[in-house]
Structure 1
Amino acid sequence: MRFIPCQLASPAGVLPVGDDWIFEPKFDGYRCQLVVWDGKLRLFTRNGLDWTERLGRSLPESVCETLDCAVDGEICALDKDGRPDFGLLCKALSDKNMPLAYFAFDLLACSGERITSLPLHARKKQLAEVIPSLGIESVKLVAHTSDGNALAKILLSKRWEGVMAKERNSPYEPGARSPAWRKLKFTRRQEFIVAAWRADKKTGALKSIMVATMDNGALTLRGSVGTGFSVRQRRELADFFSEHSPLGAPSTQLPVKGDIRFLPPTLIAEVEFLEFSSSGRVRGASFIGLREDKAAEDVQHETFFSDTTEKIAQPLAA
């Protein structure tokens, strides 16, 4: 069984309402596809990379040979409160003793046959039968609800990343960013392209990074990030960036000044920030970690949830 390209969600500022939608938590981890074929388990990133060796530590090498399936979900590292934490997941990439959990929210193939054309509610019904039959403690079935407003308020109180809204009768659209799936983020946090970096003149360690998004095929500068790095990260990232820094500036000129070392637009950073300025720059930005599961063309300016919880759910415009 081959990897099936992942369906992607469209950013949203409010949750849709109505009987056509179901809602589930948005997880703070790496999107992964769990494929079982001939009793063997493999984990693929959203770009189709086989990361079984890197992230499959909590999975058995084999399961029931009669159960061939492809499951869509997210692999996470959990904090002491059982909440997914992307920062911990970044640490887990280099610490194989850290346990991981896989949260399954969709079923793409069952008994060796694709079921992506089935409506979401039918796929989830089969998923609820498949996950228990796998018998893997670290693989969890993601629950869903028809009350998005109530779920959002619960997740807000527990400081989760956000909530997902999905059309219950929609098919799975491999490789598409579909309006049938909508992601609403509570915290102002998103991925940015690392466009350039500055080194400390005295130590040579990383001082800050310049981040950007890809809008209409061109890089748009979104500001500077100088906090959130540990002393070790500043040293290691400076070495890493030095290996990737080209001699000249990128073909798309960015409005930056000073001792800047440009990078090819391939490195992705997760950044938390207070707000966007009127000119579209991040304020109060803090580095969370580098992402290896996303491509630069997927990094766009995102919409975030209003701080007013009473405005979580609104009807869709006609």
Structure 2
Amino acid sequence: MRLRFVDPLLPTLVEKPPEGVDWIHEVKFDGYRSQIVKDAGGVRVFTRRGLDWTSKYRDIAKAAGELDEVQSAIIDGETIVLNDAGLSDFAALRKAITQRQHDLYFVAFDLLHLNGHDLRNMPLEDRREILAAMIPEGRRIQFSQSLPGDASAIIHLVDQAGLEGMVSKRRDSVYRSGQSTSWLKAKCYTVGEYDLLGIEHEPGQPAFALMAERSTGRYVGSAFINSSREIRDRLWKRVQEQAGPAPKGMKRPSTQWVKPGLIGRVKHLRGEADLRHASLQDFREE
């Protein structure tokens, strides 16, 4: 039987992870959500949106083909690259896909199908028990172990380790494609510096700082200005003194643009390509 790609279950973002014995908790890896499909026609590896990336993930596909006693399977997981500290590294991942495929690993966290049986209506805990038993240790495909302890202690340790966050899943949950509250993701915050492009302030609305990557100049989003009164007043004075034209291609009528040279210190969710849940902490002049 030829198996088809299954649209993934997507966790809901929450401020804090859920407490209680009804949940298991895993590391949220900083990689690409991926799906291994193995059947009589061979092994294919798909992206989150169902694109066939088998040619980009050749070593992972080869490892899936070597899983013992697995004639057919659909495995949900994350493709990652580890840095020298043993943490998943998203920047290194993009380079490895085109230049160093041997650095790619697949972290498996759910099993949707096995040897002719659809497992999506089984409780998560049972699906994961079967999955753990079929993955050998120390290989290119690894099992995502659950983290012991209560949720508040786990998220603290995850943050201290510099990880992106954690995913909490109901032990008895079935697998349903699309957004779900049976899986919840809690992310950690980090602080970085960005070029400040301007201040957007519509009447009656909070003010936002528009930010760009320092290395590329790429616009990455806005940061809520919740700094102290002293910092806000100083910032607005600098913005007025250094008013400049809008960056090429950007049209935002409620924005006061500034000349290059202002650097913003921004707190934002870790592991995102663009700023999310971001706030401007302070700024400096270059």
Q: For this structure pair, what is the TM-score category when the shorter chain's length is used for normalisation?
A: 0.5 to 0.7
For residues 259-278 of structure 1, what are the structure 2 equivalents within 5 Å?
259-261=247-249, 274-275=266-267
Match of 2:96 in 1: 92
Q: What's the counterpart of residue 215 of structure 1?
A: none
User: Does the CA contact (< 8 Å) of 1:75 and 1:101 recur in 2?
Assistant: yes
Aligned to 1:104: 108
The aligned counterpart of 2:157 is 154
The question of 1:74 aligning with 2:78 is answered yes
Task: Kindly state the Cα deviation for residue 162 of structure 1 after the two structures are TM-superposed.
Answer: 0.6
Aligned counterpart in structure 1 of residue 210 of structure 2, from 212, 223, 230:
223
Shift in alpha-carbon separation, 1:76–1:15, aligned structure 2, 3 A: same
Which residue number corresponds to residue 15 of structure 1?
17
The CA deviation at 1:118 is 1.1
Instruction: Find 2:134's aligned residue among 125, 130, 136.
Output: 130
Task: Name the aligned partner's letter for residue 223 of structure 1.
Answer: L
CA shift, 1:11, in A, is 0.6
Are the counterparts in 2 of residues 121 and 169 from structure 1 also a CA contact under 8 Å? yes
Partner of 2:224: none
In the TM superposition, 1:1-318 aligns within 5 A as 1-38=3-40, 40-60=42-62, 62-63=65-66, 66-97=70-101, 99-132=103-136, 137-145=139-147, 147=149, 148-174=151-177, 176-188=178-190, 223-229=210-216, 258-261=246-249, 274-275=266-267
Residue 274 of structure 1, CA deviation: 2.3
Q: Which residue of 1 aligns with 2:261?
A: none
Structure 2 distance, partners of 1:77, 1:68, is: 26
SS at match of 2:98: coil
Contact 1:16/1:165, CA 8 A, preserved across alignment:
yes
Distance 1:19 1:45 in 2: 32
Report the number of matched residues: 224
Q: How high is the TM-score relative to the length of structure 2?
A: 0.67
Amino acid of the structure 1 residue aligned with 2:266: L
Sort the Cα spacing of 1:300 and 1:88 in 2 relative to 1 into closer, same or farther, 3 A. closer
Secondary structure in 1 aligned to 2:184?
strand
In 2: Cα distance, 1:4 partner to 1:70 partner? 8
Q: Against the structure 1 CA distance between its residues 36 and 184, is the aligned structure 2 distance closer, same or farther, given a 3 Å change threshold?
A: same
User: Structure 1-normalised TM-score?
Assistant: 0.61
2:57·2:101 contact (CA, 8 Å) conserved in 1? no
Displacement of 1:80 after TM fit?
0.6
Gaps of 5+ in 1: 190-206, 211-220, 238-256, 264-272, 277-281, 291-298, 305-318
Contact 1:24 1:151 in 2 (8 A): no
- CA offsets per residue over residues 143-191 of structure 1, 9 Å max, x none? 10352233323322221111111111111111x21111111111259xx
Give a deviation string over 1:211-270, Cα, whole Å, max 9, x none.
Answer: xxxxxxxxxx983313144xxxx7xx9xxxxxxxxxxxxxxxxxxx6242269xxxxxxx
- The structure whose Rg is larger is 2
Aligned sequence identity (%): 28
State whether residues 39 and 66 of structure 1, in contact with CA within 8 Å, keep that contact through their aligned partners in structure 2.
no
Report the Cα offset of residue 136 of structure 1.
Answer: 7.9
* Counterpart Cα distance in 1 of 2:108 and 2:22: 21
Q: Deviations over 1:124-156 (max 9, x none)?
A: 111112223xx8810001110352233323322
Rounded Cα–Cα distance in structure 2 between residues aligned with 1:222 and 1:31: 31
Deviations 1:69-90 (A, max 9, x none): 1111000011011110101112
Q: Which has the higher contact order (CA 8 A, sep 6+)?
A: 1
Residue segments in structure 2 that go unaligned for 5+ positions in a row: 199-207, 219-244, 252-264, 280-286
